[in-house]
Amino acid sequence: MNIPKSIGDLANTSLSSLDLSECGLKGRIPKEIGKLSSLIELELYGNYLRGEIPSSVGNMLKLQMINASSNQLEGLIPSEFCNLRYLGNLDLTSNKISSGVL
C-alpha cells in the first residue's frame, strides 16, 4: 500500500499528528503531504518507503518532529527543511540518506 496523493485533501483540517509507522507502506512519499500545514508530528518509521524526501515537507512550518527511520529513503535532505524552525527531532536513521543538504 502506498501513501495516497489524496493525503493532501486533509490540508484544511486541524490534524496535528499523523502516525503511519509500521503500516507496510511502500513507494514514495507523495509531494502532497506538504499540504498538511497544521501537522506537528509526522511518524513514518518502519515502512518500505523509498526515493527522496519531497521538498514540499518544507512547507509544513509547524512540524516539531519527523521520524522516518527504518525505510529505504535516499538522496539528500531538501534545503527546504531550513524553513522548519520548530523542528527539534528529525530521525532518518536506517535509510540511505546522503550527508548534506540539497
- 29 burial level (CB within 10 Å; 0-12, 13-18, 19+): buried
Q: What pLDDT was estimated at residue 25? A: 98
Local structure of 57: helix, strand or coil: helix
Residue whose grid cell is 507496510: 24
CA distance 47 to 59: 23
What are the extents of the domains in the chain?
A: 5-101
Across the beta sheet with 17-19, the strand order is 17-19, 41-43, 65-67, 89-91
Q: What pLDDT was estimated at residue 44? A: 99
User: Does the predicted TM-score (pTM) go above 0.85?
Assistant: yes
| CATH class belonging to 5-101 | alpha beta
β-bridge mates for residue 66, sequence order: 42, 90
- Taking only the tens of pLDDT, the chain with its 102 residues reads 999 999 999 999 999 999 999 999 999 999 999 999 999 999 999 999 999 999 999 999 999 999 999 999 999 999 999 999 999 999 999 999 987 655
Q: What pLDDT was estimated at residue 99? A: 72
